[in-house]
Structure 1
Amino acid sequence: MNKRSKEGPKSHPEKNENRSSLPEWYEEDKADQFATRVVSGTGSSSVDIPTPLGISASPPALDSAAQGNKRVGRRRKLALEDYLEGFEQRDKTVFARAITLVESNAETDRNIAQELIRRLLPRTGESIRLGFTGIPGAGKSTLIDTLGFSLCEQGHHIAVLAIDPSSQLSGGSILGDKTRMERLVRHPNAFIRPSPSGGVLGGVARKSRETLLLCEAFGYDVVFVETVGVGQSETTVHSMVDCFILLMIAGAGDELQGIKKGIVELADIIVINKADGENLLRAKAFEREMRNVLHVLSPASRGWKVPTALCSALGGEGIRELWDHVSRYIALRKEQGVFLKNRHQQSLEWLHALIGEYLRRQFYHHPAIKESLTHLTEEMAAGRTTATSALQTLIALYETKT
């Protein structure tokens, strides 16, 4: 093992056109594997889209994040004040470590994370929170890449919480969404965080709400929350965002897309993606069908007629119109005085979810429950007891030995 000198990050000898640095420790013969290399962004055209009402196109600059706080960066363990200082200085390294902190299950980390969020709360709440859902293959990541890149080019700072399917063995996330957002991931105004699902319904990360608050406190003025679009994750994401966008594609079949009444009713905007080339006519026909469906459904928001938008995320067509819909919806909600009320209601739902999570953890970690659960499960499998009877036994054990 080798120790890095106190002079700062080493420059990697290869590829001088890119900036590269090594971590605090690395194996001498594996420097290439441990090096972090920052490459320049790719030039690309963007869609000229307007700024939504109440959101500045030029939030606090995050340029100082590239330099980082060197004093903090060399520490193995950060204290609360280090995190707060890092947020003040827009240090992206500290920001990323703060997100890792809130995702940690260690009790000491949880305590620091909760105090950090409490101290940062006055800096939150100024962003627009957008949720995206749809079946795998609907083009969510590509749409977010195109829309997000265009917003970044307009001067916005974009954070993407890409909720990935987790590994069954490790519980960690994959980077599929991040690799599909090729332009956005290279933009200095963007931050993308694939998150582990943590076992929550539909693959939604257990700590996504805390991560969202950290993004706002750091200065990101538009936050995208993307879900894999399966199971019941849609309802969880809906409870976290200001505007919920459902992506659909023509020709996939209703049964494949899981077009359930409840999911469509949650949507504030419906996007028919991949409306290009030979698929354009099918997309237009499908849009007419969706409009007919919406006529018989109750909209999620009073006074709002859910619009449908034809988009081609690859070509950029329809992106401006989609953002127009978002801007009009946010403006209406603020005009009605329900924008903040909705966020307060979401906070209450978050509280109840945390209570449920805490009680569940306390119950299953109880020694008496651990000892008896396996036996009762075997008894149920053998047909010698019922689920209700097993529950009564477990509750009695928990209450008498707590």
Structure 2
Amino acid sequence: MAKEKNAPRRKRQLDVEDYVKGVLENNRAVLAQTITLVESNAQKHFHLAQKVIGELLPYTGNSIRIGITGVPGVGKSTLIEAFGTYLCELGHKVAVLAVDPSSQISKGSILGDKTRMEKLGRHKNAFVRPTPAGGTLGGVARKSRETMLVCEAAGYDVIIVETVGVGQSETTVRSMVDLFLVLMLTGAGDELQGMKKGILEIADVIFINKADGNNKLKALATKEEFNQILHFLQPATKGWQTKAYTCSALNGEGIDEMWNVVGKYVEHTKNSNLFHERRKEQLFLWLHDTVQSQLLTNFYEHPKIRQSLPEYKQDIEKGMITVTIAAQKLLNEFNISMK
């Protein structure tokens, strides 16, 4: 039977060369497809993605990586859009990766239902990509780091990694960027009660957002409060004093100062070699995290463990064995089976 003339053609599967060529030429469609490949959990996609990243590796590392977090309602998306647009107008190429630890209950995406950064996303020098983590911080780390490399190979010289600001995700993002920026609202005392002191200890710069209209004086007072607190904390980066500033995503005030602070920070860390040392440390941390993640996967997917784990769970529930002993027995079974 002859094929119908109007039958749709099957889309040709891209190979390694297609992906690499498309990314290096900053073909938006291929760039998006490459990131989708990197994010995939399928084993066949994983191996293909690693080959592509291996080919792109010589073209990576030439960006400034900025992590941005903040308390709920601080206006991260609006601020990032204003900041990114400002940089694009200066001639920079900006990629925004919105790290999204998906809900553990619904498995849905926290950021998925929001219309995000439309103006910036339409700019010819910008690329905005939400990155679902699949419910694990390990997912955040691997997929976001590899997506950063892909964007760098495509020529983006400023990479902004946004975290939704929940729990441990801030320290995960800190471990993959050069500079970590924390956005805050007015009322330092109230805000500090709702966030861990640890977030200030990993911040390289703090900006008090929404410093406009009737809120401007409050924002200036909050800035001073934070600077007093920061004076007594050990800086996140050696030789660099973390300071607080004010900005307004609404009217653009302080956006130029934000980029000026980033420039001074990069100059300081490069002159002292901290910039490159931190990048090397992050690579080793990435190696450690990857090995740890793979070991956990291998452990729980091993047939012997899958068979024994439910039995040990029952024994624990009945009080027949302690959790520590059960864990030790499972590890012993795994080690014996691997010999």
TM-score of the pair, normalised by structure 1: 0.78
More helix by share: 2
Alpha-carbon deviation of 1:4?
Answer: 10
* 1:202 and 1:229 in contact (8 A); partners too: no
Identity %: 53
Q: Distance in 2 between matches of 1:4 and 1:146?
A: 49
- Which one of 40, 64, 77 corresponds to residue 13 of structure 2? 77
Does the 8 Å CA contact 1:202/1:234 hold for their aligned counterparts?
Answer: no
1:254 pairs with 175, 191, 196, which one? 191
**Alignment check: 8 A CA contact 1:140 1:247 kept:** yes
- 8 Å contact kept, 2:180–2:202: yes
Residue 88 of structure 2 is matched in structure 1 by 152
Alignment of 1:50-65 (within 5 A): none
Contact 2:207 2:247 in 1 (8 A): yes
Cα distance in structure 2, aligned partners of 1:188 and 1:158:
10
Instruction: List runs of 5+ in structure 1 lacking aligned partners.
Output: 7-23, 26-73
Shift of 1:113: 1.0
Task: Tell me what 1:287 maps to.
Answer: 223
> CA-to-partner distance for each residue in 1:111-159, whole Å, 9 max, x for gaps?
1111111111110011110000112211111110000011111211110
- Within a 5 Å distance, the mapping from 1:94-105 to structure 2 comes to 94-105=30-41
More deviation, 164-173/190-199 = 164-173
Is contact 2:65–2:177 with CA below 8 Å preserved after alignment? yes
- Aligned-partner SS, 2:115: helix
- Residue aligning to 1:187: 123
One-letter amino acid of the counterpart of residue 321, structure 1: E
- Per the TM alignment, residue 88 of structure 1 is displaced from its structure 2 partner at its CA by 3.4
TM-score by length of 2: 0.92
Alignment of 1:20-59 (within 5 A): none
Q: Is the 8 A contact 1:245 1:270 kept in 2?
A: yes
Describe the superposition over 1:21-76 as per-residue Cα deviations: whole angstroms up to 9, x where unpaired. xxx78xxxxxxxxxxxxxxxxxxxxxxxxxxxxxxxxxxxxxxxxxxxxxxxx734
- The answer for the alignment partner of 2:52 in structure 1 is 116
Q: Matched residue of 1:241: which SS?
A: coil
How far apart are residue 238 of structure 1 and its match? 0.7
Equivalent AA in structure 2 for residue 173 of structure 1? S
Quick check: 1:273–1:311 contact (8 Å CA) kept in 2? yes
For 2:240, the aligned partner's letter is W
CA distance in 1, matches of 2:116, 2:133: 19
* Aligned-residue RMSD, C-alpha: 2.3
Cross-structure match for 2:69: 133
Offset from partner CA, 1:280-313 (integer Å, 9 cap, x none):
2221221111111011111112221212110111
Q: CA deviation at 1:83?
A: 0.9
| Cα 1:378–1:275 shift into 2, 3 Å | farther
SS of equivalent to 2:206: strand
Selected match of 2:243 from 294, 297, 307: 307
Aligned-residue offset at 1:255? 5.3
**Pair 1:367–1:188, CA change in 2 (3 A):** same
Name the residue aligned to 2:144: 208
1:230 is aligned to: 166
Deviation at 1:239, TM superposition (A): 0.9
Q: Distance in 1 between matches of 2:138 and 2:185?
A: 21
Answer yes or no: is the 8 Å Cα contact 1:200–1:206 preserved in 2.
no
